Amino acid sequence: MKNYTRFSRQAWSKLADAHPFQIDAAELAELKSVGDVLKLNDVAEIYASLVTYLHLAYVEKRAARAAKNRFLHRVTKPAPFIIGISGSVAVGKSTTARLLQVLLSRTYPGLKVQLMTTDGFIYPNQELARRQLMARKGFPESYNMQLLSDFLSDVLAGKPDIVYPLYSQDLSDIVPDQFGHVENPDILIIEGINTLQLPTSGLVVTSDFFDFSIYIDAAEAHIESWFMQRFEHLMQLSQSDPSNYYYQLANGPREAARKLAEETWQMVNLVNLRQYIAPTKTRASLILHKTTGHFIDEIYLRQF
């Protein structure tokens, strides 16, 4: 890929010294999303080098800000180092985000690392219905990008406590009267399908706020397979929970449920991937490429 340096998994794994990560297979199982795959050798061969590189970038930003302050004879509070993580539905963004938060916090215990998702900035279902956007849920126009832009501006301004809406996968909707909080982190990880997308209007580009961005890439056929596998897992998990959005679907004819999932992939997620998500790949600082079984086989690091 143009403007990127390609690393094989083996070459990437040799870039950083081995970290004594205090994490085991049971904890990895808790961190990974439904249907995702995460193993201890992924931590050693992929994430050790990635965590080291991210910390180098963090230190570089802090040093540059301090040098500018000395030149300008002023004192300003350091802004958080923001990491954006993007990619298709079912590709493993949430797993990567949660793992990075844990590893960064444990490797550099002096740093406060927080994690959030842009799912909370999607319009509530009631508003999507009013705008006739339920069939376009997840597409750029279904997000309140002005609210997200204002939120990121507050983060960089160093406000001590910034609230944001919470989204529930179980409800498939915004959670009423509940909010997440960003409280002066050193590093903020933001995960979501829209983190690298260009705005549809004159709003500020969200990725302009990021210091580093990661895109998780895979062939469409692999992602479709993972999406369907995740759907089957969700059906099993929601069968005994009447409050779950998928409860009725999970307790109905399974073939009808699978057909709906296939239609959702073809008509919504695949279209969104091709039109709005995949074109942002080359805006990322680093690309993690996955193959069968969520195995990361190649890493692409942006040269400039």
- Segments making up each domain of the chain, as ranges: 4-302
pLDDT in tens, 32-67: 888 889 999 999 999 999 999 999 999 999 999 899
Residue 143: exposed, middle, or buried by beta-carbon count in 10 A (0-12, 13-18, 19+)?
buried
Which residue, chain included where needed, has tokens 């400039």? 304
Task: Determine the pLDDT at residue 278.
Answer: 95
pLDDT given for residue 200 in this prediction: 59
Which contacts (CB < 8 Å, 24+ apart) does range 256-264 have?
A: 257/231, 258/228, 258/231, 261/227, 261/228, 261/231, 262/228
The residue-averaged pLDDT of 200-210 equals 67
Please check whether the domain covering 4-302 is classified as CATH 3.40.50.300: yes
Pairing mode, if any, of strands 286-291 and 295-302?
Answer: antiparallel
| pTM score over 0.75 | yes
CA distances from 268 to 120, 138, 139, 169, 194 (A): 19, 8, 8, 17, 14
Region 63-78: mean pLDDT is 89
Q: Would you place residue 202 in the very low, low, confident or very high pLDDT band (cuts 50, 70, 90)? A: low
Distance CA 209, CA 218 (A): 25
- Considering only 7-16, 107-116, 196-205, which range has the smallest mean pLDDT? 196-205
Q: What does the DSSP 8-state code read for residue 134? A: G
Q: Please name the residue that has the structure tokens 């507050």.
A: 154
pLDDT attached to residue 198: 62
Instruction: Note the pLDDT tens digit of each residue in 220-254.
Output: 999 999 999 999 988 888 888 888 888 888 899 98
